[in-house]
Structure 1
Amino acid sequence: MIVYGIPNCNTVKKAMTWLTENGFKPEFHDFKKKGISAEKLNAWCDTFGWETVLNKKGTTWKKLSTEEQQEVNSKESAIKVLMTYTSAIKRPIIEVDGKPVLISFSEESYQSILK
């Protein structure tokens, strides 16, 4: 299991705490430091939809110019922005056996999918 995110994100902290308390030993991938590949983003967008992977509620998205925001209208344009602004990726994203299974944090979702 790999948890993708950034360490100072409260949602990532909640997810890591829940996983640890429920007996999981997740590996953590800090995509601010380690980056993220276009292939990985493509897989996440295929699984969750690019509109979900792109966090439009976060400060990174809100700091983009109106023109930059309006140019994001497809999976390809979203991936381009997410490669440049990794903080705009909704987090955490959890992969099990190399497959994306969860995005963000909801105790109910984690229990139903991981238990």
Structure 2
Amino acid sequence: MNTLFGIKNCDTVKKAQTWLKQHEVAYTFHDFRIDGLTDTQVRGWHKELGDALLNRRSTTWKQLTDAQKAEAEADPVALILANPTLIKRPLLDTGTARMVGFKQDQYAQLFR
């Protein structure tokens, strides 16, 4: 089953949800803030996606201290668990593949 991870008020998440519905792709939505995240999930995503997982353009990132940013560069998992909006949104997990962000052409290729 496809799972779309994000926050409900994120415009990019909304665009991804609209695309999935229009293309009749079944999915469940997992809100980071409401449903939480586990250490295992975040570590797995970081191992697979690497640097792409961390959203350095987010308001949350910009509000971090230099020490926190340095910590995130070394091992971002603890900081992401404390601040899940540091994850680039949305994160789509198909069960066999994961991708961050939303681009229509990438979704179309993934679900063709």
TM-score relative to the length of structure 2: 0.92
Runs of 4+ in 1 over 6 A off after TM superposition: none
Q: How does 1:47-66 map to 2 (within 5 A)?
A: 47-49=48-50, 51-66=51-66
Q: How does 1:1-115 map to 2 (within 5 A)?
A: 1-49=2-50, 51-74=51-74, 77-97=75-95, 99-115=96-112
Distance in 1 of aligned mates of 2:72 and 2:30? 25
How far does residue 67 in structure 1 lie from its aligned partner after superposition? Answer: 1.6
Count of residue correspondences: 111
Listed as ranges, the gaps of 5+ residues in structure 1 are none
Distance in 1 of aligned mates of 2:97 and 2:43? 11
Distance in 1 of aligned mates of 2:71 and 2:99? 27
Q: Provide, for residues 58-92 of structure 1, a one-character-per-residue CA deviation record: whole Å limited to 9, x for no partner.
A: 00010111121122223xx2011100001111111
Q: Provide the aligned C-alpha RMSD in A.
A: 1.1
Q: Is the 8 A contact 1:61 1:88 kept in 2?
A: yes
Residue identity (%): 30
TM-score relative to the length of structure 1: 0.90
